[in-house]
Each structure stands twice: as structure tokens, then as C-alpha cells.
Amino acid sequence: MDALRTAKTTGQPNYQAKTTHVLRPHHIGLLSVLAISYKEFESKEVPAPFLLHINRLMLNEISEVAEPKPWYQLIQELSSGPMADVADALYLIESVKDVWMSVMLIVPQHKSIRNGADMLIFFQGWDANRLMFGSLLNEDLGVAALFQDNDDQEPAFTRRSPFGYFCRRCWVTFQKLSWEGVLRLQRDYAAWRAGDLQAGYIDGPMDRLNSDNLLFRTSRDKKKFATAERYAEYEKARDVSDLSTAVESLRRYFEQLFHTENDIGYRHYALLELVRYHWKRREWTVARDLLVEAQELAERAGDCVMDEYCKSLASRLPPKDLGAKQPLNTIRPNVHPYEILYDVKKLMQVSYEQPLSASFEKVLEAITAFDHWAEKEASAQTDVEQWGQHAVQSLVWNNAGCLRMSEVEENIVIAFTETASDDNNRITVIVNRANKEARRGKYREALSMLLDPDTWRGLSVIDYEHLWASELWHVLALRAARRGQLRVFNEFLQPKRPASYKHRDYFADLPPSGGSHIRDRLYEVIYYLVINGDDIEQRALACFTMARCIIVAGGSESSNLQEAIGFLDTAEADYTTLEMYPSVVKVQYLLAVIYNALGREEGRDAAAARHLAAQSKLEEWAAAAVDQETQAIWTLAMDVGASLSAR
């Protein structure tokens, strides 16, 4: 969470969340893997590539950055390592499967943790051979032997190493358990190995009256501190657009105990998160009301960072007054660089009356501020923050007419972002590229990009509605409109128009002129911009218009008619590529007329034949009420939405 991550710069005391370490069943499994790998087996006997694989797997598991792997998956990961079929590595894997504690005994014997006594032996290192000496405890055995110093030999791990810290933390936690807690841990561990993923992972009450797991309690064990489960529930509900569950989960998350100092309250954090949620859903009125309340609470709590967050988010909301402009952000403390990057979207609107150079300047400001922000935070930035400016640059370069640069920026985002994820940068770039492919007449390529499972599999319902499904509808509507499929558009597509639909108006603000001045202006200003073919629809229209202007200006002279044929051939080819048959028949008809005027009967007959074929195709599409391909694609889109909502 951005809000919680940046809370350390609020000017309030830098409280560190106090959490209680709870011994879980998968911890026993990880301790066993470490013990078998570094105590029973000599590291030099195990192949180095396989030992490196074990170290990487254990580092990933003990860091707890993801949900712990179940028993069967842990074994699969171990077995998939390099050189896992070598004798020593294979014996190690079989030992992990069947032993799980033989390493703690002087005489190795294969034995499972079947009861509480076995669990005590696993951690404490009791040695039955020492019973005659009056002591069962052997400091050279047990989990403690992995990290405690010994006069005879060095420990497997130093105390401050990642593995040593993990082993020591689990060992200390075990010392606090009562006998009832040990028995419960053993039962949960046995159930976890049997496939019950919930055993041992449901937290109970912490008070003495209702909890008998702990024999020794520290101050941290008397209170239940905040956990991330409630926020995970909120994120899941947010992704499927379950508003009531999202609000309730967020409330329960921020009502938890985060620290034991004077609590200034976290209500404004929850409100700001809800504002972002409603902003993504385009619910401006609700977002504005909640934002006002969040800003008041942030000011009352003296939280300057959250106050700036509220102000920046307020500048994103549409203004209440008609014709008013959204304010631009400036570089100042506690303003996230991406708020400055969002100003690029504002500057590209016609109402701001700003050149594209202003957008490029804003992008540069955002990149500079982001570099400073990353150094100030002294923490690794997420991929969303790292590649966002490339996604914005692709839009700016595209509007500047530099399509090659735009494609380079898009390729950067697609190459370095995770596939099948909920990364908004990735889906935005894919949607923009699909739009450009569709405008070039490559409808199948555009639809293939959108319908690829790696594109939609990780989307949230909000991005599905406002980006993916919306662009899919626009591609289908563009193709139907160009083909002249009026009934398909009016009767099938238009009723399914997405709620986020935004119409597009095109204006030609040219001073009135007549005669040859039209041709001169078209030739001098527009011709060089559209003839390169970046937008073939514009090129086709320009060539068709240019040909007609030549005919009007030059009359029926053969040289002028011959010049017009070249432009008409280009227009016909482009319109055919775009499947714009209403325009194709017009161009072909004019070509037939020109060939007839020049006395070229062969060209006239060929153009007339193409005209009849195109006219027949146009009438067929205009009469069809249903397009099977369009219907199948939209059915698939609805199935995708249903599957995303059911996650």
C-alpha cells in the first residue's frame, strides 16, 4: 500500500509494527530440510547445483513474501532441482520425504514426528543414551545445534544469517509453548503433511482465559497485532467489484492494533483507499465526498503526507463547474511523482490548449522526481512505478506522429511487465496497440492481442469493464461500421455498448476557401503528413479527395485524369485493406468513369467488375442481422467477465 509505505515520512514517530511470531506447520518442514541438508549430510557430498537449488528454495520460503508451499509442492520443488537424480541428492530427497527428524539422534534412525515427545526431541535434542547420566538434553542435537556455537565444531549457520535467524526464531518460539501447545503443533503438522492446508493457520484468541498454547508469555503475546489477511480480503473484493465486502474488509483491517503507542487513528488511510477504489470505478460524487472527509482527518492527525495525497487525488477528479480545468501538480515534498505524470493526460486534452512539448516536459519532470523519490525512500520500487512513464511516453509519441518511438516504448512495457497480471501499465499498452492495429485494418491481429489469455487472465473487474471489454467493443464496432454492417451495429453491438463509452468528434477547422485554393492547401499542408501511411484511413481519404480536386481543377484534360488515377488506385487499395466497402464502391465507380473518359475500355471494365463485386458484398453485409464471428467473440468476452468475477 502506497499510503502505509509512505507513512514513515509523516512527521509522526516512526512506529514499528509489533507482531507475534507463531510457529506454523510449514516451519517444521523447512527446519527439517535445513537440518537434513546441513547436519546429516555433508554439504560437500551433495552436488553443488542441487545444494544451490535448496538454498534458493529455502530463502524464498523463509522470507515469507508469498503463501507457504504445501507439503506436496515443497517435495516437487526439491525434486525438480538440477542433478536431483544423483545418488546423494536422491537420498537426501528420500530422507526429507520419510525421515523428518533422524538427524537429531546420535544413532540415526528413521522416525516421524508422531507425538508431542517426538516434537520435543526435534527441537530440544533430547538424547535417550544420556539417561544414565541424569540428563536428557544434548546441546549438540536439536534445532539449536544448527545455530548455537559449540567448542567442538562450528554451527551450520551463524545467528545473524537468514537461515540462522529463522532457526533461532522458531526455536525461541517453541520454548514458550506449553505441553498443550506442543501437542496442538504436532497434530497440525501431521494434518498439514496429510494435505490439510488450513491446519495450524487459523489464529485463536490471545488472552490467558481462552488460550493455553503458551507457557511463557511476553508483552507481545498478550495482544493480537495487525495482520495482512483483512487487506488481502479487501483486494480480492476490490478486484471482483464486491463493494460491500471491500468496505467491510478495509474497515476491519484498519481497526486492528498496529502499535502500542498513542494511536492517532488510521481512518483517513481507509477513506483514502476507498476514494481510490471509487475513482477507478468512475464514481466521482462518492469519491469526492469521501476525499473531503479523509483530508479533514489527515489535517486533524497532523499527517502531512496523507494530506498531500488527498490534495493530489482531488486534482484528478473532474471539476464540478462546467468548463473548469483540473489543476496541475507541481513538484513539492510529499507529492508522488506519478501525480505529476498524470498531468500529462490533462495537458493532452484540447481544452488545455497546450502543445505536445508541454506533455514531454511533464514526463521529464515526473522521471526526475521519481528518481529523487526512489533515493529518498531508499526502498525497491515496484514494476508498476518503474514502467509507468514508458506507457505514458508511448501515448505522447503516438500523438506526436512518431509511431516508431511509440512502439519502442510499448515494447519496453510489454517485455518487462509480468504476463497475466493486473498491471494497469501492461493492459493499457496492449489496448492502445490493439486500437492502432484495428485502425490499420488488422482486425484479426487486434482481436488476437485482446483475446490472448495472458492479456485478460489477471485483470481486475474494473480494468475488464473500462479497458479490456471496452476496447474489444470498439474494435468490433469499428469493423462493423467500416464494413457497412448497419444492422449488426444497431441491433447487436450498440445495445452492448460499455458504460465507459466516450464518443469521438472530429473537426476540420479550416478557413473558407474556394477553387484551386482548396487543392493548394490540401497538397501543401496535409499531403506530406498523411501520404507516409501511418494512418491508412486518412491516406485513403486524402488521396480520394486529392483526385477529385485534381479533376475539378483541371477539367477533362487527359493529363489531369491520368494523375488522378494514381491517387484513386492508392485510395482503393487502402479502403479494401480496411474493408470499408461503402467507400470502395465510390472510388471504383469514379475510376470506371475516368477510364471511360480516357477511352481505356479494359481498365473501365475491370473497375466496373470490381465495383459490382464490392457492391454485392456491401449489400450482403448490410442485410445481415447477425455476424457469427462477432457474436462468438462477444460471448467469449462475457465468459471472461464471469470467470473474473467468480475468482
pLDDT of residue 217: 64
Half-sphere exposure of 12 (CA within 13 A, CB side): 23
Q: Which of the pair, 273 or 150, is modelled with greater confidence? A: 273
pLDDT of residue 107: 31
In whole angstroms, give the CA distance from residue 238 to residue 242: 6
Would you state the cell numbers that stand for residue 454, as one nine-digit string?
495472458
pLDDT band at 44 (very low <50, low <70, confident <90, very high): low
pLDDT of residue 609: 94
| H helices present in 326-355, as ranges | 337-347
Residue range 268-282: mean pLDDT, rounded: 87
Which of 27, 17, 9, 127 has the alpha carbon at shortest distance from 69?
A: 27
pLDDT of residue 23: 84
pLDDT of residue 323: 77
Per residue in 332-366, pLDDT (tens digit) is 888 888 889 999 999 988 888 888 899 999 999 98
pLDDT of residue 576: 93
Residue range 96-121: mean pLDDT, rounded: 56
pLDDT of residue 449: 94
Q: What number of other Cβ atoms are within 10 A of residue 493's Cβ? A: 20
pLDDT band at 632 (very low <50, low <70, confident <90, very high): very high
Would you state the cell numbers that stand for residue 313, as one nine-digit string?
487525488
Of 210-214, 518-522, 597-601, the least confident: 518-522
Would you state the cell numbers that stand for residue 175, as one nine-digit string?
520454548
E strand spans, 530-644: none
Exposure of 632 by Cβ count < 10 A (0-12 exposed, 13-18 middle, 19+ buried)?
Answer: exposed
Most confident of 17-21, 360-364, 497-501, 516-520: 360-364
In whole angstroms, give the CA distance from residue 143 to residue 130: 18
pLDDT band at 251 (very low <50, low <70, confident <90, very high): confident
Q: What are phi and psi of 214, to 5 degrees?
A: -105, 135
Which of 588, 593, 507 has the alpha carbon at shortest distance from 544?
A: 588
In whole angstroms, give the CA distance from residue 51 to residue 37: 8
pLDDT band at 102 (very low <50, low <70, confident <90, very high): very low
The answer to whether 192 touches 26, Cβ cutoff 8 Å, is: yes
Exposure of 286 by Cβ count < 10 A (0-12 exposed, 13-18 middle, 19+ buried)?
Answer: middle
DSSP output for 445-492: HHHHHHH-HHHHTT--HHHIIIIIHHHHHHHHHHHHHHHT-HHIIIII
Please list the helix, strand and coil fractions of the chain in percent, rounded to the nearest 5, in that order. Answer: 65, 0, 35
Q: At what angle do helices 558-578 and 581-598 cross, to 10 degrees?
A: 160
Residue range 225-231: mean pLDDT, rounded: 77
The answer to whether 567 touches 546, Cβ cutoff 8 Å, is: yes
The answer to whether 147 touches 159, Cβ cutoff 8 Å, is: yes
In whole angstroms, give the CA distance from residue 645 to residue 450: 18
pLDDT of residue 218: 66
Q: Which of the pair, 138 or 458, is modelled with greater confidence? A: 458
Per residue in 523-554, pLDDT (tens digit) is 555 555 566 667 888 889 888 988 998 888 87
pLDDT of residue 111: 45
In whole angstroms, give the CA distance from residue 347 to residue 359: 6
Buried b / exposed e along 91-130 (16+ C-beta atoms within 10 A): ebbebbeebbbbbbbeeeeebebeebebbbbbbbbbbeee
In whole angstroms, give the CA distance from residue 25 to residue 189: 5
pLDDT of residue 397: 92
pLDDT of residue 25: 87
Whether residue 456 is predicted with pLDDT greater than 80 in this model: the reply is yes
Residue range 184-203: mean pLDDT, rounded: 81
Buried b / exposed e along 578-593 (16+ C-beta atoms within 10 A): bbbbbbbbbbbbbbbe
pLDDT band at 479 (very low <50, low <70, confident <90, very high): very high
In whole angstroms, give the CA distance from residue 330 to residue 340: 7
In whole angstroms, give the CA distance from residue 288 to residue 483: 43
Which of 120, 29, 107, 119 has the alpha carbon at shortest distance from 68?
A: 29
* Domains parsed from the chain with CATH numbers: 25-204 (no CATH), 531-623 (1.25.40.10)
pLDDT band at 512 (very low <50, low <70, confident <90, very high): very low
pLDDT band at 208 (very low <50, low <70, confident <90, very high): low
pLDDT of residue 137: 46
**What percent of the chain stands above pLDDT 90?**
23
Mean pLDDT rounded to a whole number for the chain: 79
Which of 528, 616, 533, 527 has the alpha carbon at shortest distance from 574?
A: 533
**254 three-class SS:** helix
Residue range 389-403: mean pLDDT, rounded: 90
Residue range 32-47: mean pLDDT, rounded: 74
Q: What number of other Cβ atoms are within 10 A of residue 174's Cβ? A: 23
The answer to whether 469 touches 641, Cβ cutoff 8 Å, is: yes
**Residue type at 97?**
K
pLDDT of residue 573: 93
pTM: 0.70
Which of 166, 184, 223 has the alpha carbon at shortest distance from 25?
A: 184
Distances (CA, A) of 401 to 387, 407, 529, 534: 22, 11, 9, 8
Which of 422, 413, 414 has the alpha carbon at shortest distance from 386?
A: 413
Residue range 76-81: mean pLDDT, rounded: 86
Would you state the cell numbers that stand for residue 320, as one nine-digit string?
464540478
The answer to whether 618 touches 585, Cβ cutoff 8 Å, is: yes
Residue range 361-388: mean pLDDT, rounded: 77
In whole angstroms, give the CA distance from residue 436 to residue 404: 12
In whole angstroms, give the CA distance from residue 498 to residue 477: 12
Whether residue 249 is predicted with pLDDT greater than 80 in this model: the reply is yes
DSSP output for 36-105: IIIIIS-TTTS-HHHHHHHHHHHHHHHTTSSPPPPHHHHHHHHHTSTTTTSHHHHHHHHHHHHTSSGGGS
Whether residue 421 is predicted with pLDDT greater than 80 in this model: the reply is yes
Distances (CA, A) of 583 to 107, 481, 618, 621: 90, 12, 10, 14
Which of 313, 632, 635, 280 has the alpha carbon at shortest distance from 465?
A: 280
**What percent of the chain stands above pLDDT 70?**
79
Buried b / exposed e along 208-232 (16+ C-beta atoms within 10 A): eeebebbeeeeeebeebebeeebbe
Whether residue 8 is predicted with pLDDT greater than 70 in this model: the reply is no
In whole angstroms, give the CA distance from residue 267 to residue 170: 35
pLDDT of residue 212: 60
The answer to whether 241 touches 462, Cβ cutoff 8 Å, is: yes
In whole angstroms, give the CA distance from residue 3 to residue 336: 11
Residue range 81-87: mean pLDDT, rounded: 81
Would you state the cell numbers that stand for residue 233, as one nine-digit string?
480480503
Whether residue 100 is predicted with pLDDT greater than 50 in this model: the reply is no
Whether residue 394 is predicted with pLDDT greater than 60 in this model: the reply is yes
Whether residue 19 is predicted with pLDDT greater than 50 in this model: the reply is yes
Distances (CA, A) of 20 to 36, 206, 224, 226, 258: 28, 10, 8, 10, 12
Per residue in 279-313, pLDDT (tens digit) is 988 888 989 999 998 888 888 888 888 888 888 88
DSSP state for residue 526 in the 8-state scheme: I
pLDDT band at 380 (very low <50, low <70, confident <90, very high): low
Q: Biggest alpha carbon distance in the chain?
A: 122
Whether residue 594 is predicted with pLDDT greater than 50 in this model: the reply is yes
Residue range 395-417: mean pLDDT, rounded: 91
pLDDT band at 80 (very low <50, low <70, confident <90, very high): confident
In whole angstroms, give the CA distance from residue 572 to residue 479: 17
